[in-house]
Amino acid sequence: MAATSIPALWNLDTPQRLTAYLNNPSKQIIKVQNFIENRYLDADQTWEWVNSFSPRSGKHLAIVPRSPANVVEYAVNVASLAFPEWSQTTVQYRSEILLRIASLMEEKRELFALWESTDQGKPLFRARAEVEASVEHFRYYAKYILENDEPVHLNKDFGVSTLTYAHRAPVGVYAIITSWNMPLYLLTSKVAPCLAFGCTGVAKPSELASLTPFLFTEVLRRVNLPAGVMNIIFGDGPCTGSTLVGSPLVHGVSFTGGVKTSIQIREKVAPEIHKILFLEIKGSCPTIIFPDVTMKEAAVLAASAAFENSGQLCLSGSHIYVHRSIYEQFLSTLIDTVKLDYHMHGGIGPMMSPEQYAKVRSYLVDAFKQATKFETGHIPDEVPKDGLWIPSTVLSNTRLDGLVAREVFGPVATVYPFDTEEEVIQLCNANPHGIGATILTHDMFRMSRVGKRLNAGIVWANCQLGHDLGAGITDLRALGTGREGGARGRDIFTRVRALHVPSF
């Protein structure tokens, strides 16, 4: 089969070039290739392929390898062989590599943004922001590993004087598995610290959104990352992903995705007690509106929390709790804001896959049966036409035990009234699927008081989605075991030992 591969894609870095390519009726299908040992694996090593479609149009866009066990084993073996030498490189050398990656990604940032928008479906402005954040992952860790040394302590125990310091050793080979909602951002958020702290890896992006991870492999090749240090393979979860996490040569697993798959991974690796496991689980988070807010500003922030990336974010603020004294006024303002800023083909994109479209639609059907009021939006057609579009939907009079009140992961927001601070804290903490929260109030004491009581690893107050990599994120609910950023990223990819030497 004739196909378009990296050399041709690498030059489709302007809207005009990409549009001309996509509209060309004689264009070749994109063939994604596995990247192992800094080389692209020949297509004859792949016997099964996954079809990838454009969420915006529903048209066939690419074919993605469903990598079999022997390809996975090859990639893991290569990473294992590369680990001893890479783990002994200096932080200065690894920092230089990370900066080269960041520079080339920045040079090709429009290429990545255009393909992220095309392949995943998100608006171009959102894709551009995610590419910039992806570049920052490498710049941040390039600086972090040069500036964060472990402290040295003088000890005098049992009549012996010693100097004690913590020595950190890279864990080993990591399996990195990421979701489809932010393909490039999630991949780079794990690859950057993996490389920075001296680990090697095999990454498997989602087979539903593989094109920017595929393009990222060319960055690794062009910056001359040592062969085998980071390998990127493609495939589904049951076949490729399961084989990867189960490899005895894998020392750690870092995963972003759903609850069901997280449980399967935990069960798979349970007998291998030595494996380090970090699971970041998708969820729906609360936004709390107190009565002292500026109405329009609060509605804009709440809408952004709920509908950014079409609600397909691990930190989406899909559940909006509004103080009863301003409930009707706020709801009206929110509806106007959503209609203006988050309409189809504008502020939001389509669902990523037919399966995700069907899941979100089923939640809306269930809500309708329970007499939920559709303030905006409607139940879309069962069989979508011209793309996987679901309108931005605001629901009121929603039962707290309904499907839509759980993890929605789509452009759907539920709005509830509350009366007291204590009540809303209990409502928010009763939802097991949120790792973040947003508080909107002008009362600084309330921000602190409520923020400290919410079971959320990251809390925004009068802002939303700004994120300091150094502060990191930790899943406080123990729904998953996800951690990222700064010292938390270091804890994932290194093991620490106390080293004592004589003091004279």
The residues annotated with a catalytic role in the active site are 280, 314
Residues 6+ apart with CB under 8 A from 358: none
Question: Are 418 and 443 contacting, i.e. CB atoms less than 8 angstroms apart?
Answer: no
Is residue 234 classed as helix, strand or coil in its secondary structure? coil
Q: Are strands 49-53 and 39-40 parallel, antiparallel or unpaired?
A: unpaired
Letter for the amino acid at 183?
A: P
Question: Are 228 and 78 contacting, i.e. CB atoms less than 8 angstroms apart?
Answer: yes
Question: Are 98 and 59 contacting, i.e. CB atoms less than 8 angstroms apart?
Answer: no
Angle subtended at Cα 500 by Cα 494 and Cα 503, rounded to the nearest 5 degrees: 140
Tokens representing 234 are 């493609």
Placement of tokens 């940032």 in the chain: 109
Rounded distance between C-alpha atoms, residue 306 and residue 429, angstroms:
18
Q: How many CA atoms lie within 13 A of 164 on its CB side?
A: 11
Tokens representing 274 are 């030595």
Is residue 238 classed as helix, strand or coil in its secondary structure? helix
Is residue 202 classed as helix, strand or coil in its secondary structure? strand
Beta bridge partners of 321: 288, 416
Q: H-type helices in 108-160, by residue range?
A: 109-120, 124-147
Question: Are 148 and 470 contacting, i.e. CB atoms less than 8 angstroms apart?
Answer: no
Beta bridge partners of 93: none
Question: Are 497 and 175 contacting, i.e. CB atoms less than 8 angstroms apart?
Answer: no
Placement of tokens 């789509």 in the chain: 410
Phi first, then psi, for residue 442 (nearest 5°) are: -95, 0
Is residue 258 classed as helix, strand or coil in its secondary structure? coil
Residues 6+ apart with CB under 8 A from 73: 243, 247
Rounded distance between C-alpha atoms, residue 429 and residue 456, angstroms:
8
Residue 76, Cα to own-chain centre: how many angstroms?
A: 23
Rounded distance between C-alpha atoms, residue 316 and residue 132, angstroms:
20
Question: Are 191 and 219 contacting, i.e. CB atoms less than 8 angstroms apart?
Answer: no
